[in-house]
Structure 1
Amino acid sequence: MMRARVAYSGAIHEAYPCGELLRLADGRIVREEDVVWLAPIEVGTIFALGLNYAEHAKELQFSKQEEPLVFLKGPGTVLGHRGVTRRPAGVTFMHYECELAVVIGRTARNVRRAQAMEHVAGYTIANDYAIRDYLENYYRPNLRVKNRDGSTVLGPWFVEAADIPDVANLQLRTFVNGTLHQRGNTRDLVTDVPTLIEYLSGFMTLSPGDVILTGTPEGVINVDAGDQVVCEIDGLGRLVNDIASDAVFGRV
């Protein structure tokens, strides 16, 4: 089942696809453009993987690390489908990162790989923007690279794990202004989903609502104010996001 969270008429609602429209939990049918899309779940801790596709690491001229490169993201980074992300003035390289986002559904502590998927509630799409100008190095990403307000777009749908039979074989695609620039497949993850859950739960507790961003494949390009970025993942839908300048956000 696919479901979303939207703000409409002064309240937050669960919403479901209804052709080209949305059906709210109370039965009302509304247009997509008449709601504000929120992250499709109540987000807990966000774990973000860096360089988890070999070709993307090669694209950035980075050699394979011995264990997963993971960092945390704050709640202010989260933005919903059709939201607007700010591109700060003066930066030279800001890029999208289309990623499979794994949502934890059961508390996980010292979970073995064989049982790891029992702790997954479902999946959504993430577009986790980065500004290369601010990057100190790939071992220690600067906060300004990955923890800026509205830089992590999630949605539009939360899809239950049972509806994705093979999470290890999902196509990812990213379009900028309608042109395909990024394509990959989750079969090429350096560290796959069950191994990530085993790794993380081995030293800290994963809780329901926690989200693991599994990394992005090769094919990132610079995006500018006025660009529209669309991320697609098989079975999870189409996540739309627009880039705006400082002026749109009242910064000059």
Structure 2
Amino acid sequence: MTNVFLFDPPKTPSVPIVGEQRSFPVRRIFCVGRNYAAHAAEMGNEVDREAPFYFTKSAHALCHTGGHIAYPPGTDDCHYEMEFVVAIGAPAFRVATTDAMQAVMGYACGIDLTRRDLQAAAKDKRRPWDLGKDFENAALIAAITPAQTFGEIAAQRITLQHNGEIAQDARLSDMVWSVPELIAHLSRFYHLAPGDLIYTGTPAGVGPVTPGSHLTGTVEGLAPVEVTFDAPQ
């Protein structure tokens, strides 16, 4: 029996790949919380050194670099969070840290947008962060650079400029939990698979945007991510 949908299903979200005509279809988005100690401190938190923790975003929160987006609805305090993004290209389930990088297809610059006022209200009531984190255009991303092109993750500089002024500036080596540690840990709870993205956390210096704000995020060796905010709808 042919499956007939009630309405046309949405297209699969995808990300361009540097040097490729093919694109990377996005399955799931995992985000790591408090993975830079200085950011945790600026938010009044301590890093949990026992294990990383995560939140998720819908794949349809994905937003390509270079465009204009409306200021998000339902908030008066939308913040930027620059991130180093890992694209998973092979299955990984209960993998060891020493084997985890075999699952990596590539890397990208990303920005995690946060409705900070809604996140704070949820925290105060011990409720999930979904309204603060998972919304349209909340997972900005640039083209993915293949892992073999990028090379080893070391002390590459990660920055974000807000209206031309540097707001975030750190090194990938500042991450509390390394990429192989994150993959190995996540793979204890999920069957990671091609199409999964991991936003690995943000350095200190997060802050609010307003209509008219322009963001440019960079990681050495990767295509930059950019966005401009228009008036709210």
In the superposition, the TM-score normalised over structure 2's length comes to 0.85
**Structure 1: distance between partners of 2:110 and 2:26:** 12
**Structure 2: distance between partners of 1:142 and 1:87:** 19
Whether 1:81 and 2:65 are equivalent positions in the alignment is: yes
**Structure 2: distance between partners of 1:129 and 1:237:** 19
Between 1 and 2, higher relative CO (CA 8 Å, sep ≥ 6) is seen in 2
Whether 1:142 and 2:142 are equivalent positions in the alignment is: no
1:206-242: CA deviation from partner (whole Å, max 9, x where unpaired): 0011001000000112110011100011000211101
- State the partner residue of 1:91: 75
Contact 1:168 1:192 in 2 (8 A): no
- State the partner residue of 1:193: 179
**Structure 2: distance between partners of 1:119 and 1:71:** 21
**Structure 2: distance between partners of 1:218 and 1:73:** 21
Residue identity opposite 1:111 in structure 2: V
In the superposition, the TM-score normalised over structure 1's length comes to 0.79
Give 1:143 shift: 1.2
- State the partner residue of 1:181: 167
**Structure 2: distance between partners of 1:168 and 1:125:** 15
**Structure 2: distance between partners of 1:48 and 1:164:** 21
Residue identity opposite 1:207 in structure 2: A
Gaps of 5+ in 2: 1-13
Q: Alignment partner of 1:41: what SS?
A: strand
Q: Over aligned residue pairs, what C-alpha RMSD do you find?
A: 2.3
- State the partner residue of 2:6: none
**Structure 2: distance between partners of 1:205 and 1:46:** 13
**Structure 2: distance between partners of 1:58 and 1:152:** 23
- State the partner residue of 1:20: none
Give 1:41 shift: 2.2
Residue identity opposite 1:91 in structure 2: T
Q: Label 1:58 to 1:140 Cα distance change in 2 as closer, same or farther (>3 A).
A: farther
Give 1:89 shift: 6.0
Contact 1:56 1:218 in 2 (8 A): yes
- State the partner residue of 1:239: 225
Give 1:82 shift: 1.3
Whether 1:122 and 2:109 are equivalent positions in the alignment is: no
Task: Judging by fraction of residues, say which structure has more strand.
Answer: 1
Query: How many percent identity over aligned positions?
Result: 31
Q: Label 1:145 to 1:80 Cα distance change in 2 as closer, same or farther (>3 A).
A: same
1:89-112: CA deviation from partner (whole Å, max 9, x where unpaired): 673421111101001111001100
Q: Alignment partner of 1:195: what SS?
A: helix
Residue identity opposite 1:78 in structure 2: L
Residue identity opposite 2:116 in structure 1: R
Length, aligned pairs only:
216
- State the partner residue of 1:3: none
Q: Label 1:13 to 1:235 Cα distance change in 2 as closer, same or farther (>3 A).
A: closer
Give 1:128 shift: 0.8
Gaps of 5+ in 1: 1-11, 18-23, 26-39
Contact 1:84 1:150 in 2 (8 A): no
Q: Label 1:90 to 1:200 Cα distance change in 2 as closer, same or farther (>3 A).
A: closer
**Structure 2: distance between partners of 1:235 and 1:15:** 14
Moved over 3 A (4+): 12-17, 88-92, 138-141
